[in-house]
Amino acid sequence: MPFTAAPPLPGFLAGDLPFERGAWRLEGGPDAGRLVHFVDHGPRGARPVVLVHGNPTWSYLWRKVIVRLPELRCVAPDLLGLGLSETIGLDEHSVDRHARAVAELVDALDLAGAVLVGQDWGGPIGAAAAAWAPRRFAGKVFANTAVVLPERLRGTAFHRFARRPVVSDLAFRLLGFPQNALHKAQGDRSSIRGRTARAYRWPLRGWRRRAAPLALARMVPDGPDHPSVPALRRAEAWALGDAGPTALVWGTRDPVLGRALDRHAAAFPDAPVTRTDAGHFLQEEVPDELAAAIRQLAAAADTEP
């Protein structure tokens, strides 16, 4: 079995991530041989919770939520190219490749009855992974994400900027955008400052590692013919299908996806909705609300036939 020890953390981060961690060397698909880092913390016999981050973060994003769920098994992978997972090239990023890597890890850990929790790209990537391994999942919590696609596919000004040649490469790969400015997407800008801000910058050092934030920004579709659309439609179909109970937790001060709550609430009319004053990375601002929704969803999954 290609499990191996997790890559080491720098000293300034060790106290923030006092969790069990590991790494899995992928066996199938175009990324076979590449290493995926993950947190795997909590009782092994407990219901698993798969926490999937987005752009440009890593499993560190979930630390405040994990410590609030000691009764559950929390698994938080780093997407390829982000966190401590292995780097891939700018043109190698796609919804399907990220989803296949997450699905393979879920299978390798033999998770069953898992609750999917996805934020930002973690929503559609996690849902696409669940579509590859549907019997592994029993419910889902979506937070400031875009699993349900809008009628008009165009992205935000941020995503349109990412498609501009040369200038976007310089901004993302030379100047470290957007990880140097994550606080600007927050309701409380002090929530990503100091050591926390450094923790998000640390894995994305240098031109090669900074390919991932740019690639994930370009993965957001700007029209119906964008290459991400087929995988996103499969993810949406899984989420809207018979995939167990759903809950929504949203930061309404998110300048990127705050307004996406309305279409998700309409698409999941039976889902409980927790509205907060948080921004985009609500894990930093309202971990109690997120943990409560996950706990309630896990309990609801226990009662499903």
> Which pLDDT tens digit goes with each residue over 87-124?
999 999 999 999 999 999 999 999 999 999 999 999 99
- The mean pLDDT of 69-79, rounded to a whole number, is 98
| Domains of the chain, CATH where assigned | 3-303 (3.40.50.1820)
Q: Is the pLDDT of residue 303 over 70?
A: no
> Is 280 labeled as catalytic in the residue annotation?
yes
Chain segment 277-297, per-residue pLDDT in tens: 999 999 999 999 999 999 999
The Cα-based distances of 41 to 2, 96, 168, 297 in angstroms read 19, 26, 37, 19
pLDDT at 15: 93
- Torsion over CA: 56, 191, 42, 146 (sign): negative
At 279 the three-state DSSP class reads coil
83 residue type, one letter: G
- And the tokens for 148? 């349900």
Residue 209's pLDDT is: 95
β-pairing, 73-77 with 48-52? parallel
Please check the confidence at residue 196 and state whether its pLDDT lies above 70.
yes
**Set 31, 96, 254, 264: catalytic member:** 254
pTM of structure = 0.97
Can you tell me which residue has the tokens 């190219």?
Answer: 81
- Residue 124 or residue 155, greater confidence: 124
Give me the count of residues in the chain.
305
Per-residue pLDDT at 225 exceeds 90: yes
- pLDDT at residue 240, as a whole number: 97
CB 85 within 8 A of CB 36: yes
Burial class (CB in 10 A: 0-12, 13-18, 19+), 229: middle
261 near 276, Cβ under 8 Å?
no
Residue type, 38: F
- The percentage of residues in the chain with a pLDDT greater than 90, rounded to a whole number, is 94
pLDDT, mean of residues 51-63: 98
Label residue 134 by pLDDT band (50, 70, 90): confident
Distance CA 64, CA 17 (A): 10
Token pair, residue 165, equals 């040649």
Q: Give the DSSP H/E element, type plus range, for residue 77.
A: strand 73-77
